[in-house]
Amino acid sequence: MKETEAHESILRDDKTEETYKWLEYSRHILRVYHWTEGVAELTIIARYTKASVQCFVCSYSPGSNSTRVDGCTDTNFTTESYYQVLTRSCPLGCEAVTVYDLNGVLLTFHRNCATSSTPLTNTCETHQNRVLTRHVCTCDTSYCNAAPRSVHSTPSLLTLLLLVVGCLQLLKFPPPAT
């Protein structure tokens, strides 16, 4: 009996065929696992590799004698604004700062590079003193100082997308029926 005939006779055996299906399924799971593991490593590297990020740079002060139109505050910072607002490469991260008087009236607003005196928390914090209230948002990914409705962390979205693709790969090859 030739070797190929021996393999064929073994595969005809139901138990061996079931084992073979489980083995193929296990190999597929391992391939998806290793692919996902590699993606996770790349995401971590992208997240924690410190490099300059791109930040939006604009300001608005309603009390100034300027005739500038507000395209900077959260209310007026739209997708169209992205192409009109300057950007800058910033080594520390980005910030968006709103300053109000004690009556809650907007005094100034700006988007810019974070400064070394501003703790980079990737959150928003409100600081109040006797004269004014400062609402400071800091972040460390490119274009993260956009308006809140459009702020998304790119590595997080990438991870989510790849997780969905990995799950779809698993659904493509369900475990063999026993």
Domain membership flag for residue 59 = yes
Angle between the 14-48 and 3-12 helix axes, to the nearest 10 degrees? Answer: 90
Domain membership flag for residue 124 = yes
Q: Check if the beta carbon of residue 72 is closer than 8 Å to that of residue 66.
A: no
- Quote the domain boundaries for residue 95: 53-150
Span 28-57, average pLDDT: 69
Q: Check if the beta carbon of residue 113 is closer than 8 Å to that of residue 93.
A: yes
Domain membership flag for residue 3 = no
Span 14-23, average pLDDT: 69
Angle between the 14-48 and 154-172 helix axes, to the nearest 10 degrees? Answer: 180
Domain membership flag for residue 162 = no
Domain of 127, CATH number, reads: 2.10.60.10
Report pLDDT for 89: 95
Please report which confidence band the pLDDT of residue 160 belongs to, taking 50, 70 and 90 as the band edges.
low
The single residue listed with the structure tokens 């296990």 is 26
Domain membership flag for residue 17 = no
Span 11-39, average pLDDT: 69
Report pLDDT for 7: 54
Whether residue 151 is predicted with pLDDT greater than 60 in this model: the reply is: no
Domain membership flag for residue 22 = no
- Three-point CA angle 116, 111, 106, nearest 5°: 110
Domain membership flag for residue 133 = yes
Torsion angle in degrees (nearest 10) through CA of 79, 82, 85, 90:
140
45 three-class SS: helix
Whether residue 6 is predicted with pLDDT greater than 70 in this model: the reply is: no
Q: How many domains does the chain have?
A: 1
Token digits of residue 53 = 């990020």
Span 49-75, average pLDDT: 80
Domain membership flag for residue 20 = no
Count of C-beta atoms within a 10 Å radius of residue 58: 21
Q: pLDDT tens digit string along 70-110?
A: 778 888 887 676 667 888 999 999 999 999 999 999 999 99
